Amino acid sequence: MATVQDSSHIVPIRLGRGLWQALTERCKRTGETPTHVISAALAEALDLEHHTIYQVSTSGALVEGVYQGCVRIADILRHGDFGLGTFDGLDGEGILLDGTCWQASSNGSVHQASPEAKAPFWVVTHFQPDQVHTFTGVRNWADLTSRIDDLRPSANVFTAIRIRGHFKQINYRVACKSDPGTDLVSATSHQAVFNMQQMDCSLVGFWTPTFARTINVPGYHLHLLSDDHAHGGHVLDLEADVLTVELHTENQLVLALPDTPAFLEADLSGDPSASLAQAGGNHS
Ligand SMILES: [Zn+2]
């Protein structure tokens, strides 16, 4: 039996000749690394939903004020180790990083979310980067996102994004708890806005295709968690000298729709993208 070195996640295994040949041929043909091919195959065998986004509710429902928590954080964690979302009553911003779920509150504090906490909207995945890049001299949000635009394989698949590094400046907001039924634009009009300098952070989030605009926030959506777990929120703008940018292409989406009366009775027939852009903050 293979020995597993827990700290480094290295599994030394001996492959049979046939498997080895097939693996080599696959890597040659597609340009994938052996680690990627093996991880993907293992994730599928272990039912880990590799390349699958698991999402609770829709951005259109949020815009309509459907904020009532419907799924436990513990249940969301079964579907991913990485992602973003919010909490019952739009109470702050959620960050899921390396399997731990954090809640950033509008008073500026961050704490680990209770597994029993309920949430109205989350987007998660099992993050496994298929691209890793170093960006230097990142001037602002527009500069960062246009460089990621050049790396994304297509405008028609989802991309999970993890960014790590030291930020010279980072500007973010945290939604305030709101009464159910308050529409998203009104609810986020009194959000808390923060500006921090010289902070080590991870950013987690997604790029969503325009065609999915009634389901998720179209374009880039990133939440931050500082390395000391003291600060977190929804990213508006930033500046950094050196960043590690990792991308994970996602081509499957599992959508869990709430069975709450608020969701079942909401009118979700409209196009929420203008309201989402306004509520998301004007990225400068
Ligand atoms: Zn957000």
Å from CA of 255 to ligand 1 middle: 18
The percent of residues above 90 in pLDDT, for the chain, comes to: 65
Å from CA of 21 to ligand 1 middle: 45
pLDDT bin (cut points 50, 70, 90) of residue 284 is very low
Write out pLDDT tens, residues 158-169. Answer: 999 999 999 999
Å from CA of 247 to ligand 1 middle: 18
Per-residue pLDDT averaged across 137-154, rounded?
97
Calpha distance 98→52 (Å, rounded): 17
Per-residue confidence (pLDDT) for residue 207, from 0 to 100 = 97
Å from CA of 19 to ligand 1 middle: 43
Per-residue confidence (pLDDT) for residue 28, from 0 to 100 = 86
Å from CA of 23 to ligand 1 middle: 39
Per-residue confidence (pLDDT) for residue 228, from 0 to 100 = 97
Write out pLDDT tens, residues 174-193. Answer: 998 888 778 888 888 878 99
* Burial tier of 9 (Cβ tally within 10 Å: 0-12, 13-18, 19+): exposed
Å from CA of 223 to ligand 1 middle: 6
Å from CA of 135 to ligand 1 middle: 23
Calpha distance 13→102 (Å, rounded): 35
Which of 116-120, 175-179, 207-211, 215-219 is predicted least confidently?
175-179
Please tell me whether residue 101 adopts helix, strand or coil conformation. strand
Å from CA of 95 to ligand 1 middle: 9
Calpha distance 175→261 (Å, rounded): 24
Q: Which of 201, 148, 222, 177 is nearest to 67 (CA)?
A: 177
Q: Which of 75, 276, 258 is nearest to 184 (CA)?
A: 276
Å from CA of 222 to ligand 1 middle: 6
Please name the amino acid found at residue 136: T
**Does residue 222 contact residue 243 with C-beta atoms inside 8 Å?**
no
Calpha distance 191→174 (Å, rounded): 6
Å from CA of 12 to ligand 1 middle: 40
Q: How far is CA 195 from CA 199, 228, 234, 241, in A?
A: 10, 16, 12, 17
Per-residue pLDDT averaged across 255-270, rounded?
91
* Burial tier of 73 (Cβ tally within 10 Å: 0-12, 13-18, 19+): buried
Q: What are phi and psi of 136, to 5 degrees?
A: -115, 150
Per-residue pLDDT averaged across 267-279, rounded?
86
Other beta carbons within 10 angstroms of residue 64's beta carbon come to: 20
Calpha distance 284→282 (Å, rounded): 6
Please tell me whether residue 183 adopts helix, strand or coil conformation. coil
Å from CA of 101 to ligand 1 middle: 14
Cross-strand bridge partners of residue 252: 52
Å from CA of 134 to ligand 1 middle: 24
Write out pLDDT tens, residues 45-75. Answer: 776 667 789 999 998 898 888 888 889 999 9
The pair of structure tokens assigned to 225 is: 């968690």
Give the E-state strand segments of 105-231 in sequence order. 110-112, 118-119, 121-125, 131-138, 158-174, 192-208, 219-226
Per-residue confidence (pLDDT) for residue 7, from 0 to 100 = 65
Write out pLDDT tens, residues 76-105. Answer: 998 899 999 999 998 999 999 999 999 999
